[in-house]
């Protein structure tokens, strides 16, 4: 059993390989494509646009790879994703919203369950949309599994600033949930 299997290697080892052998970047792509696509789909609500943004993110990351410095590759690639999505919004406002994601059918549950889950998702997205931009971004990144430090790295702020903004966001969401009852 040799340790060179790409799925066994930490991100920085894969990045080091990709800097020498650019084809090794495919392993990083395979590892992070689902997360980046999910983040883009959540933010944009359009699967085709999310796929385009995902492609742009990895193209930008591939081109910027020589400037990557070890740390959190996940935070770095999500920062590129956030910037790419922001650029997409600036170029043209999307015709769909996060609520479009809630309209997608889930194949497993029954119709009543689907409606309930979609209504809950839509309500959560509406609450997140009412947060200040930075708080909304932090909550969305948290929902995509990023750690506080990865979010801090991606946004270029301190971990304490992330924690503080997250605390304020959760309090605001709690208040908003109280208004909905």
Reported as a single tens digit per residue, the pLDDT across 127-143 is: 888 889 899 898 888 88
Residue 94: its pLDDT value, please?
46
Residue 2: band (very low, low, confident or very high) from pLDDT cuts 50, 70, 90: very low
Residue 111: its pLDDT value, please?
62
Residue 33: its pLDDT value, please?
93
Q: What CATH number is associated with residue 58?
A: 1.10.1740.10
Asked if residue 72 is part of any domain, the answer here is yes
Asked if residue 45 is part of any domain, the answer here is yes
Higher pLDDT, 71 or 181: 71
Domain around 50: 1-96
**Residue 106, helix vs strand vs coil:** coil
Residue 80: its pLDDT value, please?
92
Q: What is the mean pLDDT of the chain?
A: 80
Asked if residue 73 is part of any domain, the answer here is yes
* Number of independent structural domains in the chain: 1
Residue 3: its pLDDT value, please?
42
Asked if residue 14 is part of any domain, the answer here is yes
Residue 92: band (very low, low, confident or very high) from pLDDT cuts 50, 70, 90: low
Asked if residue 152 is part of any domain, the answer here is no
Asked if residue 132 is part of any domain, the answer here is no
Model pTM score: 0.54
Asked if residue 149 is part of any domain, the answer here is no
Q: Which residues of 55-82 are buried (b: 16+ CB within 10 A; e: fewer)?
A: bbbbebbeeebeebeeebbbbbbbbbbb
Share above pLDDT 70 across residues of the chain, in percent, rounded to a whole number? 80
Higher pLDDT, 171 or 114: 171
Residue 97 has pLDDT above 80, yes or no: no
- 120: tokens are 């809950």
Asked if residue 67 is part of any domain, the answer here is yes
Q: Which residues of 122-134 are buried (b: 16+ CB within 10 A; e: fewer)?
A: bebbebbeebeee
Alpha helix segments (H runs only) across the chain = 11-20, 25-44, 47-64, 73-91, 98-102, 111-129, 133-143, 148-155, 159-180
């Amino acid at each position: 059993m040799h340790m060179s299997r790409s799925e066994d290697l930490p991100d920085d080892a894969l990045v080091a390989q990709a800097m020498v052998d650019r084809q090794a970047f495919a392993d990083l792509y395979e590892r992070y494509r689902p997360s980046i696509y999910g983040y883009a789909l959540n933010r944009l609500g359009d699967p085709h646009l999310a796929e385009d943004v995902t492609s742009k993110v990895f193209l930008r990351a591939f081109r910027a790879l020589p400037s990557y410095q070890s740390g959190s590759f996940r935070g770095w690639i999500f920062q590129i994703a956030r910037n790419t999505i922001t650029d997409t919004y600036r170029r043209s406002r999307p015709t769909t919203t996060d609520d479009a994601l809630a309209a997608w059918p889930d194949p497993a549950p029954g119709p009543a369950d689907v409606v309930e889950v979609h209504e809950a998702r839509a309500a959560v997205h509406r609450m997140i949309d009412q947060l200040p931009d930075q708080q909304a971004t932090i909550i969305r990144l948290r929902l995509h599994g990023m750690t506080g430090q990865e979010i801090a790295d991606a946004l270029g702020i301190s971990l304490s600033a992330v924690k503080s903004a997250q605390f304020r966001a959760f309090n605001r969401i709690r208040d908003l949930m109280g208004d909905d009852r």
